[in-house]
Every structure is written in structure tokens, then in C-alpha cells.
């Protein structure tokens, strides 16, 4: 008879996200993962695979929650501009600790070896998904008259991704809300033309 798991798999995965997010892949030990996840080595291997497999699952878990949050911010806002305002000013309003931690996927991109094709593919897929979320919202903004019909929604989606990534990098280096707010306001000005 197989033993049932004595831990919550999703909670353990969320704990692994936290460890990788704080320490990065290379600096994270299996001991730190097991301690934070509250599981034994064999349970880690049986449930999640090796450290790299766990890292990929942790990034996928993070991506799903982050992208769902982006989508919800854009869909629930009364206007597309308001949705992007929530996203950008939400980043500005994060705590110093959140700024210092940054974005798990942006950190993964900076940390990865240039020849790590598996991580690169994962990150490219994520960028394509975020571009799709943003472009869909921006096309909705065009239909609603918030943006001109000549606006290239795909290019503007890339612009917002680059803006957010740049803001994350700035915030991680120095949590300066005033500077971040200035960047956000300039980016949001695309809706005022």
C-alpha cells in the first residue's frame, strides 16, 4: 500500500519559489530547500525531481500566478490605461524588500548561462505570454478609443514589458519610488496622445 504524502505539495512548491527568489538557483542548496519546504530529501526527489526540475516547476508556479495577476489587473480595470496604471504604480508601491527581491524570472534570465537553452525557452515562452496579455488589452484600448488605431499593439506590448523589466532592475538596485513613478508616468503617457 502506497503511503500518502505528509505535506502540502503546493505549499512546498511556494516555499521553494521563495528560496530560489531570495538566493537564486546557484546559491540555493538542497538543505535550504528541504528546510524551507518542510520535506525530506527523498520526498523532494519523489515529488519534484532534482534541484533543476524543482527550479523549473517553481518558475512555472511563479509565472502562472504573476501572469494571472497581470491579466486580472487589465481585465478588471474600468479602462486599459487604468489597468496599466495599476500594474506600474503597483510596482512603484512595493516595499523596499520587494524591490530588493525583484522578479524571479528576470533574475533567472540574468543568472542563467547563455547556452542554457531550456531556461531560455521557458523565459521566451513567458515573454510571449506576457506580450499576448498586454497586446490583447491594448487592442481592447484601441477598440475603445483609448489608443489610436495606428498604434502597433504588439510593439507597445513589448515597450511595456521592457519598461517593467527596467523598473524592476532600477528598483532592485535602489528603491527610489520617485524615480520609478516618473518612469511609470512617462510610459502611461502613450494613452494621452
Q: Which CATH number belongs to the domain containing residue 91 in this structure?
A: 1.10.357.10
Listed in order, strand segments (DSSP E) in the chain are none
- Whether residue 40 is contained in a domain is answered as no
Please tell me the least confidently modeled range out of 102-111, 126-135, 139-148: 102-111
- Please give the biggest Cα pair distance in the chain: 67
Tell which wins on pLDDT, 3 or 157. Answer: 157
The pTM for the full model equals 0.89
- Whether residue 107 is contained in a domain is answered as yes
145-180 as b/e: b if 16+ CB within 10 A: ebbeeebebeebbbebeebbbebbebbbeebebeeb
The angle at the Cα of 107, spanning 137 to 105, to the nearest 5 degrees, equals 40
- Whether residue 120 is contained in a domain is answered as yes
Inform me whether the pLDDT recorded for 1 exceeds 50. Answer: no
- Whether residue 87 is contained in a domain is answered as yes
- Whether residue 34 is contained in a domain is answered as no
Confidence of residue 5 (pLDDT cuts 50, 70, 90): low
Inform me whether the pLDDT recorded for 14 exceeds 60. Answer: yes
Inform me whether the pLDDT recorded for 81 exceeds 50. Answer: yes
User: Among 170, 70, 165, which residue's Cα sits nearest to residue 109?
Assistant: 165
Distance CA 55, CA 152 (A): 35
Distance CA 177, CA 89 (A): 9
- Whether residue 10 is contained in a domain is answered as no
- Whether residue 153 is contained in a domain is answered as yes
Q: Judge residue 128's burial from the number of C-beta atoms within 10 Å of its C-beta, 0-12 exposed, 13-18 middle, 19 or more buried.
A: exposed
Distance CA 133, CA 27 (A): 32
The whole-number pLDDT of residue 8 equals 85
Look up the domain containing 106 and give its range: 59-192
- Whether residue 167 is contained in a domain is answered as yes
Cβ-Cβ contacts under 8 Å for 7 (sequence gap 6 or more) = 37, 38, 39, 43
Count of structural domains within the chain:
1
Confidence of residue 91 (pLDDT cuts 50, 70, 90): very high
Amino acid at each position: 500500500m502506497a503511503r500518502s504524502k505528509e505535506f502540502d505539495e503546493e505549499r512546498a512548491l511556494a516555499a521553494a519559489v521563495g528560496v530560489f527568489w531570495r538566493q537564486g538557483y546557484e546559491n540555493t542548496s538542497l538543505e535550504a530547500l528541504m528546510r524551507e519546504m518542510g520535506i525530506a530529501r527523498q520526498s523532494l526527489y519523489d515529488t519534484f525531481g532534482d534541484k533543476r526540475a524543482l527550479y523549473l516547476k517553481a518558475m512555472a508556479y511563479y509565472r502562472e500566478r504573476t501572469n494571472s495577476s497581470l491579466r486580472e489587473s487589465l481585465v478588471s480595470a474600468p479602462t486599459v490605461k487604468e489597468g496599466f496604471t495599476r500594474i506600474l504604480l503597483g510596482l512603484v508601491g512595493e516595499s523596499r524588500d520587494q524591490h530588493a527581491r525583484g522578479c524571479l524570472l528576470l533574475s533567472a534570465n540574468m543568472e542563467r548561462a547563455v547556452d542554457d537553452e531550456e531556461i531560455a525557452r521557458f523565459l521566451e515562452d513567458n515573454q510571449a505570454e506576457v506580450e499576448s496579455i498586454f497586446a490583447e488589452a491594448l487592442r481592447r484600448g484601441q477598440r475603445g478609443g483609448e489608443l489610436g488605431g495606428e498604434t502597433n499593439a504588439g510593439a507597445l506590448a513589448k515597450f511595456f514589458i521592457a519598461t517593467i523589466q527596467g523598473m524592476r532592475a532600477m528598483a532592485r538596485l535602489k528603491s527610489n519610488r520617485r524615480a520609478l513613478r516618473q518612469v511609470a508616468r512617462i510610459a502611461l503617457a502613450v494613452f494621452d496622445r
